[in-house]
Chains A and B, each alone.
Chain A
Amino acid sequence: MAEEKHEHEDHEADAHDDHGHDDHGHDDHHGHIQLQYEDALPIRNGKVCLWLFLSTEIMFFAGLIGTYIVLRFGAPVGTWPTPHDVHVNPNVGALNTVILIISSFTVVLGLEFAKADKRREAKLAMLVTFIFGLLFIGIKLINEYPAKFSHGIYPSSEGLIHEQSNVYYTAAVRDTLKGWGAEQAAPVAAADSATDEAAEGAETAPPPPVESDGIMSDEARSLIEKIYYGGAKWTEYVAAEKPDGLDARDTMMSLAQIIYPLDRNSHAFAHYIEHEREVIERLRETASESPRAVELQQLLEQRDALLAVVASLPKTEHGNKGVNDYLHEDLHFHHIMPIHIPSGNMWAGTYFLLTGFHALHVLVGLIMFICILLTPCGKKEYGLIENCGLYWHFVDLVWIFLFPLLYLF
């Protein structure tokens, strides 16, 4: 009994020292007696505490992942964006998974080396872990997040994502283009002052320059004009003509599809464009009788021009490239038009919530590894390395679930 107690005391004292970094209180152990304790769990106090902390972390991520699951599967049927819709690249996600797996493995190696007091090897293993952790964060910050941001995909109450391609969406596109100076100081406005928009347009001349450096290529300017007249204004005109609300919605969907194509709408869009030829023909025949003849004439011309441009846009595996992407990538235009992604705001919210908190945990882990690398990484640091390792494995664990949920579902 006495011997057992003694061993236990050793173990206790050791536990305190092992965990010295967050346990300075025991520095001032002078001045009172060293108490002995009842036999308890055969593990260090630091490890008990860390496991308890991990349980709280499990609940934290359960709350977050649960939120994602119910919002994702509770979204109106068929609206949740596919990975391609929102520029999620499963290959990059898989790469990051493998990176975390390797780093988890090297932590285990480091722990084994530390146990055997092989300091150099242990340090090397921890360094590799640190580098892989850094790589994970790097891929997030250099590749993954910018891919979303550059397409306007981020949660925001004044953001570019529209849940529906309705009249509000069309108006937002029209206003954005107008803000870029898409409206010509053209005869259309003067001749057709009966319409409200035209009157409005006449008031807001001259158009402000958009690019802060004042450079907008002629190609970009002409494309923006085409979308303004042949896209936004055309859509508003045609939608207003259509008695059936669902038909009008298809028209507005076509505008959204031109700007930012979604896979799921590509069939419907192709079908709609076929069908639109007839509408255009009919309108063209009756254009002269319309009270807004001049405006309609211009809209028809620009519509034709826009559809021609869209048809000539580079092909992707899912159809044509969107005008937003074309302007951004090929014409080096820095701004983006509002986009239509059903449940897009919720997708962005949950995606950044989950990956953001995970990345935050990775960052904390990296700080821990820096602290470890500053120590000799010997047998003395076994407890420290073990605790950080457990934490790091937990971070890996969370990613194991986030990867399929966010990248493959």
Chain B
Amino acid sequence: MDHETHDTEHHEEHHGEHSHLRLFIGVAIALAVLTGLSFSTEFLFENNIISKGMSWFLMMVVSCAKALLVIVYFMHLKWETNWKWVLTIPASVMSLFLVLMLIPDVGNRTNHYTRERLDHAALPTKPESDDHATTHDESHGTESDDLEDDANH
């Protein structure tokens, strides 16, 4: 049986092989560089240049960029026809929606804890830091300070 499908021929017309190889190498390098970027946001946080929340945000942006590179180039979505939207958009919207709807109920559940419950929860130290104004002290505040800071924004 003739295996030269319409499909693959179509592919080859669109883009020569050599330019392709170079493109894929470029994407792979970009991915590696972006992985390094995730790391550097951690570094920026360690050195008090950005806040923890900011570093999380940047990491997620980097991850989304990496995911897009993989989907668009490695998974060939750049060269697919319109069906790609029908599949990928609902899936991403649904998955995001699921996570978002979990946040008010489950993700924010400790927002409604009483002070007493927090005191007796597995907190690391005495809850003397009731005033959150003193977060971000010079010695790169403890983990808990930063978390509280974020949670109260």
Contacts and interface: CB of A to CB of B under 8 A. Distances in A.
Contact of B35 (A67, A97, A343, A397): A97
Contacts of B118: 76-77
B70 A104 contact: yes
A265 B126 CA distance: 11
The contact size tier of chain B is 35 or more
A100 to B, nearest CB: 9
A32 to B, nearest CB: 19
Nearest to A48: B83
Nearest to A104: B74
B133 interface: no
A368 to B, nearest CB: 16
Interface in B1-58: 1-8, 10-12, 17, 20-21, 24-25, 27-28, 31-32, 35, 38-39, 41-42, 56
A155 B91 CA distance: 31
Contact of B123 (A54, A101, A342): A342
B84 to A, nearest CB: 8
Name the residue among B5, B6, B8 with the largest chain A CB count within 10 angstroms: B5
Contacts of A342: 122-124
Interface in A65-80: 65-67, 69-71, 73-80
Given A14-B3, A79-B121, A265-B125, A101 B35 contact: yes
A102 interface: yes
B75 A390 contact: yes
Interface string B94-129: 111011001100111110010000110111111000
Given A10-B2, A409-B56, A268 B125 contact: yes
A212 to B, nearest CB: 34
A396 B145 CA distance: 34
Nearest to A390: B75
Contacts of A262: 124
A71 B106 contact: yes
A144 interface: no
Given A400-B63, A400-B70, A66 B17 contact: no
A63 interface: yes
| Interface secondary structure of B, over-half rule | helix
A397 B39 contact: no
B28 A404 contact: no
A135 interface: no
A55 B85 CA distance: 12
Interface in A323-366: 342-343
A94 B32 CA distance: 9
A82 B107 contact: no
B119 to A, nearest CB: 7
A62 B95 contact: yes
A13 interface: yes
A82 B142 CA distance: 11
A284 interface: no
Q: Nearest 4 CB-CB pairs, A to B?
A: A78-B144, A62-B95, A342-B122, A70-B107
21 contacts: A15-B5, A18-B3, A41-B81, A43-B83, A44-B5, A55-B87, A59-B91, A59-B98, A69-B103, A77-B118, A79-B144, A90-B42, A94-B35, A98-B35, A105-B24, A105-B28, A112-B21, A112-B24, A267-B142, A393-B71, A408-B39
